[in-house]
Every structure is written in structure tokens, then in C-alpha cells.
Chains A and B, each alone.
Chain A
Amino acid sequence: MSLFDFLTIPLFQKALIGAFLSGAGLSLLGVVILNLNLTTIRFALMHIGLLGAAIAMVLGFSPLVGAMVGILLASLLLGPAGDFLNMDTGVSGVLFMTGSLGLAFLIFYKAGVPAMDAFALFSGSILALSTIEIWVIGGLGVLMILVFFLFYREIQMVLFNQELAESLGVPAKGIRNALLLLTGLAIGVNIRMVGVLLVDAAVLLPAIAALSIAKSLRGALILSAFFGILSQVGGVAFSMAYDCPSGASITLAAVLMVCLAAIYGHIVKSIRR
């Protein structure tokens, strides 16, 4: 079966649409994670998303919805929980991460979730996206693009220097929390598509590639979306054509982007010198 034959099958059409929407909209958040140093928090959110998905699976709901609800609650609770426990957000993130991972395994064990179903959460299943899930991914992607378009200057200031943004009158904390929430939701969606283990490939790697060659935030966002689309759609297409796991194909495509961008950045720097 050729790639074009696959494109006539609704299952693969949905996967490609999901990959395009996720690449275009959700990859933008990688730029936020890298610049606001949210790497520990995003790791916590990934695992809380896993717990939410595990609970949803046991209760018979969509794992995507479960992951999103879990992450939504965690985004709202991480800050206050850290204050209550007198820990910084990074440390409370570690607590949430390990706690939710332990709880997820306990739920899988006690509810007798088949190993393959549990494994699907770790590796993702873009080919199993439902129409509703496509709408959720599309809606979230559009929301991300809209947020960055409407609040570009404010986001730029917060990413550049939060203290400075505050002194200029920008509601920096509010913007930071909103970005944290959006980051959580993007992670939730990508857990469904590429799995917990490979979320970084979908969210962070396009941004890493973009930031290694961009000369402005606008450029970084556009390139991040471009690399996101290329790696996600390219990865899915590759997995169809060569019968490979989709999550792993997306990840390797994203790794390739980072390598090529780094080489390009290095060459440009050498020429400038």
C-alpha cells in the first residue's frame, strides 16, 4: 500500500489532520517552556496527565479528557500547593510528578488495565484519534495562535524579563499562569498523540530547533510551528509509508529537525565571523 492509498482512509486522514493542528499550534508552547524555565513543571504536568488518563481509562472515558482535566487541576494547584507546603514550584512539581506516577501504576494494577492499554498512554496513538479529539486539538491550536497573536508584546516582555514586565505595568504573573495553563493543556493533547515518553518531541524539540536559528520571538514562533508541522506530519507520513510506530517516527523527525537547525545555525555563525 502506497502513502497515497493511506490518504484515502479516514483513520489516516484524521491522524494527519491531528498532526498538522498539533504541530502548528501546540509547538508554540515549547518556546514558553524553554524561556520561562518550566522544564520541571512540564515534567510534573506530563505525569499528572498520565494519572488523569489512567483514571479516565478505568472509568471508561476518553484518556485525552482525563489527561486534560488532571493537568487543568494541577496547573491551578501547583502554585498554591507549593505555598502551603512551603516549597518552590519546582520542588512541589517533583512531589506531584512522583506521587501521580505511583498512583497511576497503582490504579493500572488494581483495575486490571491490560498492559497494552497502559503502554498506549506511554507511547501514544495518533491513529486512534476520534473526531471529537480532533476538534479539541484544533480548538486548542487555534486558541494558542490567537493568544500569541493578540498578546504578542506582553508575552515577549514576560519571556524577556518578568520583573521588568511587572515594573512596566504588564500583569506578568497573570500572563505567566495563563501560559502555564496552556502549556499543561498542550502537554495533555500531545500525551494522546505521541505518549507520555515522547511529549518532549512534540512540544520542546520544534522550539529548540527554532530558537537555535531565530532572530526574534516572532521568528521563533513561526519557525517552531513550521518545524512542529514538518516533524508531526512528516513523522506520521513516514510511519504510514514504512509501517513504523507513529510516536517514535514523530520523535525521530523532530530530532532530525534539531540537528539540521543546529548545523544551519553553526554554518551561519561561521559565515558571519
Chain B
Amino acid sequence: MTQEAVVEIRGLVAGYGRHPVLHKLDLMVWHGEALGIAGKNGAGKTTLFKVILGLIAPLAGSVSVQGQMLDTPRVRRLVRCQIGYVPQLHTPGKMPVSVHDAVLMGRWSKGLGFFKRPTMQDRQKVSEILQEIGMSHKEWQEVHLLSGGEQQKVSIGRALVREAPILLLDEPSTYLDHGSQAEIIELIRTIQLKHHLTLIMISHDPEHLEGMSDRILLLKNGRLEER
């Protein structure tokens, strides 16, 4: 970890419509750090992620990612390419999508895009990542037939294939059994070291963040506090 701020948030007020969820929030995330943020449901954890991802514009305050202020839609779009996002584990629908295709989705706005088809390099990258997360043997299996732990690995693979220096993980191990939790924690630690990633993880339970985080902050009443 170095003292170079990757994410810098000052006086952030953000929310939906006229109802702010985050009130004058300050946050510095350092390069190579694994930061855990815990807070009850509705505390604003997901809102904070949406702001960092540039999906919500702040009502007040400033947000910068990798030294770029997220003050225009163009910058927010560009910054999104530098972030890998692992959403909360959800029950997948019945739509058949192979593990390969689900990971390949992560290349969108990196190599893939409107009217851009996947190249050999994109496919090659997907294969490398599947090898790394131990899912090569299930490359062509449908995602909705996988276990929760395997689905979470696919999600992490999709974030990794973006080759982004920052990873945002929403409840990365919460809805898994003990065996899968340990596996995911181990995987997250391994990929962080190997790819020199900065991680920001959120969970409703600080205990779920303990094995993976260098420090844990609590989100209460729209502000962050030391644990």
C-alpha cells in the first residue's frame, strides 16, 4: 500500500431526488489498499458505490478517481473503465449465459462496445482469467446452473477481465456457505496481490469483511466513522 490516493471524496452529499442518503462524507482510499465499509441496510453503501462508478452525480462535494474529478458525464464514463464492479450475488434468471460469455461481458467499454465484436485477444483474456479463478473446466456451462460460490467467482472474473486497477465488491462473501466464503476470501486476497489492486468492499456485517480488509470503516447516518 502506498500513500497515493486512488479515490478521494470530500464533503459528498448524494442520494435520490431530493433525499440525500450521504451527508458530507469524506473518504480517502489509498493505492493497493483493501478497504471494507460496513453499514446497515439503507445506510448508503450502494449509493456510495454508484457515486464512485459515476452512475449518480453528487448533489454537493467532490469525487475524484485516479486523480480525475468526476464532474462531467464524459469523465464519469472514462473513469468507469478503470473500475471493476462485483455486484451483490443475485439469483440469476433462467436466461442461458455461459461462464465464458458472462466473463466476456466485463470487456464492454474496454474492447467491446456498440458495433464492436469480441476479438481473439478478448477471448484469450477471458480464458486466462478463467484459469486464474479456477473456472476453466466450467467455461461453457450455464451460469444459472452453478453454485453460489462459483457464481461469485464468475462475477470476480468479469471484474478482473476489465484489467481495472480498482475493484468494488458488494457483499462479496455474505450469501455463501462457510466453505465458499473461505474460498472467495482467499481468491480476493490472491488476486489483489497479483494484480496490485485497490479494493473497496461493502457489507452489512463488519465480520464478513474482516478476512479481506486492511481497515474497516462504518457508514452511519450518511457519514463514515472509524471502527
Looking at the complex, which one of B77, B85, B87, B112 makes contact with A153 (CB distance below 8 Å)?
Answer: B112
**87-111 of chain B: CB within 8 A of chain A:** 87, 90, 92-98, 101-102, 105-106, 108-109
| B81 interface hit (Cβ, 8 Å) | yes
Residues of A within 8 A of B101 (CB): 156, 216
Complex Cα distance, B87 from A157, in Å, reads 14
| A88 interface hit (Cβ, 8 Å) | no
Asked whether A34 lies within 8 Å of B87 as measured between CB atoms, the reply is no
Asked whether A34 lies within 8 Å of B94 as measured between CB atoms, the reply is yes
Asked whether A160 lies within 8 Å of B114 as measured between CB atoms, the reply is no
Convert B61-100 into 0s and 1s, putting 1 for each residue whose CB lies closer than 8 angstroms to a CB of A: 0000000000000000100110001010010111111100
| B142 interface hit (Cβ, 8 Å) | yes
Residues of A within 8 A of B87 (CB): 161, 163-164, 167
State the Cβ distance, A173 to closest chain B Cβ, in Å: 11
Asked whether A217 lies within 8 Å of B96 as measured between CB atoms, the reply is yes
**158-205 of chain A: CB within 8 A of chain B:** 159-161, 163-170
| A154 interface hit (Cβ, 8 Å) | yes
Complex Cα distance, B108 from A170, in Å, reads 8
| A150 interface hit (Cβ, 8 Å) | yes
Complex Cα distance, B55 from A211, in Å, reads 32
Number of residue pairs spanning A and B whose beta carbons lie under 8 angstroms apart: 72
Convert A137-154 into 0s and 1s, putting 1 for each residue whose CB lies closer than 8 angstroms to a CB of B: 000000000000011011
State the Cβ distance, A222 to closest chain B Cβ, in Å: 12
Convert A96-139 into 0s and 1s, putting 1 for each residue whose CB lies closer than 8 angstroms to a CB of B: 00000000000000000000000000000000000000000000
Given A151-B114, A157-B108: A164 in contact with B96 (beta carbons within 8 A):
no
Residues of B within 8 A of A216 (CB): 96-98, 101
State the Cβ distance, B154 to closest chain A Cβ, in Å: 11
**64-82 of chain A: CB within 8 A of chain B:** none
Counting chain B residues whose Cβ lies within 8 A of the other chain, the interface size class is: 20 to 34
Interface of B, secondary structure class, is loop
State the Cβ distance, B16 to closest chain A Cβ, in Å: 13
State the Cβ distance, B149 to closest chain A Cβ, in Å: 18
Asked whether B85 lies within 8 Å of A169 as measured between CB atoms, the reply is no
Residues of B within 8 A of A157 (CB): 105, 108
Asked whether B81 lies within 8 Å of A169 as measured between CB atoms, the reply is yes
State the Cβ distance, A37 to closest chain B Cβ, in Å: 8
| A13 interface hit (Cβ, 8 Å) | no
- The interface size of chain A toward B, counting residues with CB under 8 Å, comes to 27
Residues of B within 8 A of A165 (CB): 105
Given A216-B97, A220-B96: A167 in contact with B55 (beta carbons within 8 A):
yes
B143 and chain A: residue at smallest CB distance: A160
Residues of A within 8 A of B80 (CB): 167-169
Residues of B within 8 A of A164 (CB): 85, 87, 105, 158
A213 and chain B: residue at smallest CB distance: B96
Residues of A within 8 A of B53 (CB): 167
Residues of A within 8 A of B106 (CB): 168
Given A153-B108, A164-B87, A168-B108: A211 in contact with B114 (beta carbons within 8 A):
no
Asked whether A215 lies within 8 Å of B98 as measured between CB atoms, the reply is yes
Asked whether A166 lies within 8 Å of B105 as measured between CB atoms, the reply is no
B108 and chain A: residue at smallest CB distance: A168
A154 and chain B: residue at smallest CB distance: B114
State the Cβ distance, A36 to closest chain B Cβ, in Å: 9
Convert A202-224 into 0s and 1s, putting 1 for each residue whose CB lies closer than 8 angstroms to a CB of B: 00000000010011110110000
Given A151-B114, A161-B87: A35 in contact with B108 (beta carbons within 8 A):
no
> Can you list 14 A-B pairs with a CB-CB distance of less than 8 A?
A35-B94, A35-B95, A150-B115, A154-B108, A156-B101, A160-B97, A161-B87, A161-B92, A167-B85, A168-B85, A169-B81, A170-B109, A216-B97, A216-B101
Residues of A bordering B, CB below 8 Å: 31, 34-35, 150-151, 153-154, 156-157, 159-161, 163-170, 211, 214-217, 219-220
Residues of B bordering A, CB below 8 Å: 53, 55, 77, 80-81, 85, 87, 90, 92-98, 101-102, 105-106, 108-109, 112, 114-115, 117-118, 142, 158
4 more A-B residue pairs beyond the given contacts A156-B105, A211-B95, with a C-beta to C-beta distance below 8 A = A168-B85, A169-B77, A216-B101, A220-B96
